[in-house]
Amino acid sequence: MMNLPYEVNTALEMLKNAGYEAYIVGGCVRDSLLGAVPKDHDITTSALPQQTEAVFKSFRVVETGIKHGTVTVIINGMPLEITTYRIDSEYVDCRRPTSVSFTKSLQEDTARRDFTMNAIAYNPTDGLADFHGGAEDINNRIIRCVGCPDERFQEDALRIMRAVRFSSVLGFNVENETKKSLFKNKALLDNISRERIASEFIKLLCGKDVFRVLTEYKEIIAQIIPEVSPMFGFDQHSRYHIYDVWEHTAKVTESIQNEPVLRLAAFFHDIGKPHCFSMKDGEGHFYGHASISEGICKKVLSGLKLDNKTKDTVTQLVKLHDVQIDEAQAAVKRFMSRRSPELYYMLLKLKRADTLGQTPKVIDRLEMLDRMEKLADEVLSAEACFSLKDLSVNGSDIISLGVRPGRIVGQTLEALLEKVIAGELKNEKQELLASAKEILGVGEK
């Protein structure tokens, strides 16, 4: 017996009372069986799209994907996707189906779904409808294709990414035949749009088992991002590292909070290392690796068609991941002034994860990073001045001293800010103006 939201029950009831079959299906059933709260509920029904629209004529209905049989019904503000039982056919180029046909059979609808765990339907009257052994696979925490894996991956190669993504997110293993087929068919991923790949890849990175999945499925990752292969097995020859570059990358990725921007930054931070390796006195060095990583990261993220904000933040973090910031308020303020407090905190998270991915003997460095975080907390809670907008004088104040508007105004403000940050001046108007006069060489008139 599953606990369904009132709105979902209402929709199932209304379809049933109108003489149709209706079930929740897919991710929501899987997540409920796992004891998790589903993030949405998809409904599958024997009603044709027009019939569904008629049943819900007193509700707001959006024809979201009418040619795929999907209408969205909004009940109490909750959007519910209701899709007619269907069979997908005629896959071209291993991508989305070019045509769909509707069916009266729930069993046929479940057979088109990717994995057994995603092919279970449920409603309160009939209970579970599990034609492919999905509940047992969920119990055993196994990802298994519905039907013949080679055929299913050849129909739609995105399923390869979905399998690996679910393995990372749910912590499930992939059943052996399905797993062999993943590797065998990986080249088909080249036919899938970069946007769809990127969306699965980011979910994969945010999974709790990302370390295992990145190491177990590295050839699949290399298929979508060939730039990673030089990292595989690359020995760092460093007393600070017990892992090769790829394992280190995977460790750092798992050690950072599971926000897309942070996980992406961790994933790319050392991708340039194999391109700048040198040895001296038995120790490996990677001079300039952060900027090489930055370049590769920028190119790959553009290829994945990510939005500019994500791309910029990730690239900045990669570029800065190795900079040393002095353990002093002034240095912290300078960083936050030039970049932003948000970037500072993200960078500390990256540095902390980077440290955790090295040798286990890193307590000192972690303590140092804790102190760096406290410094920033202090700066922000004291509402200390660290940017031009915090300064107690502005451009007009400088101009009123008798200088012409122009670059000199900004330069003077920058110079004052630097003095305040360095603790040489208080952030007080009179004191700042006096200093500005000195800088500008204008006397009292």
Residues that bind ligand ATP (CB under 6 A): 26-27, 42, 113-114, 118-119, 156, 158-159
Residue 330 backbone dihedrals phi, psi, to 5 degrees: -60, -45
Helix (H) or strand (E) holding 302: helix 289-303
We find the least distance from the C-beta atom of residue 81 to ligand ATP, in angstroms, to be 9
Q: Considering just the CA atoms, what is the radius of gyration of the chain in Å?
A: 29
- Taking CB within 5 to 8 Å according to partner kind, which of ligand ATP, Mg ion, none is near residue 351? none
DSSP 120-182: -EEETTTEEE-TT-HHHHHHTTEE-BSS-HHHHHHH-THHHHHHHHHHHHH-PEEPHHHHHHH
Q: Which of 2, 13, 27, 276 binds Mg ion (CB under 5 A)?
A: 27
Q: Which two tokens stand for residue 283?
A: 């120790």
Residue 220, amino acid: I
The smaller minimum CB distance to ligand ATP, of residues 204 and 436, is found at: 204
CA–CA separation, 426 vs 428, rounded Å?
A: 5
Q: Burial of 381 by CB count in 10 Å (0-12 exposed, 13-18 middle, 19+ buried)?
A: exposed
Region from 20-28, 81-89, 307-315, 329-337 binding Mg ion, contact rule CB under 5 A: 20-28
The smaller minimum CB distance to ligand ATP, of residues 114 and 270, is found at: 114
**Contact call for residues 276 and 287 (beta carbons, < 8 A):** yes
**Contact call for residues 44 and 11 (beta carbons, < 8 A):** no
The smaller minimum CB distance to ligand ATP, of residues 36 and 66, is found at: 36
CA–CA separation, 402 vs 437, rounded Å?
A: 10
CA–CA separation, 193 vs 156, rounded Å?
A: 12
- Taking CB within 5 to 8 Å according to partner kind, which of ligand ATP, Mg ion, none is near residue 159? ligand ATP
The smaller minimum CB distance to ligand ATP, of residues 119 and 413, is found at: 119
- Taking CB within 5 to 8 Å according to partner kind, which of ligand ATP, Mg ion, none is near residue 124? none
We find the least distance from the C-beta atom of residue 114 to ligand ATP, in angstroms, to be 4
The smaller minimum CB distance to Mg ion, of residues 71 and 290, is found at: 71
Q: How many residues bind Mg ion (CB under 5 A)?
A: 1
Nearest in space to 286 (alpha carbons), one of 296, 297, 271, 276: 276
We find the least distance from the C-beta atom of residue 212 to ligand ATP, in angstroms, to be 19
- Taking CB within 5 to 8 Å according to partner kind, which of ligand ATP, Mg ion, none is near residue 33? none
SS3 441: coil
- Taking CB within 5 to 8 Å according to partner kind, which of ligand ATP, Mg ion, none is near residue 118? ligand ATP
- Taking CB within 5 to 8 Å according to partner kind, which of ligand ATP, Mg ion, none is near residue 160? none
- Taking CB within 5 to 8 Å according to partner kind, which of Mg ion, ligand ATP, none is near residue 5? none
The smaller minimum CB distance to ligand ATP, of residues 158 and 346, is found at: 158
Q: Contacts with Mg ion in 75-134 (CB under 5 A)?
A: none
State the residues that interact with Mg ion by CB under 5 A.
Answer: 27
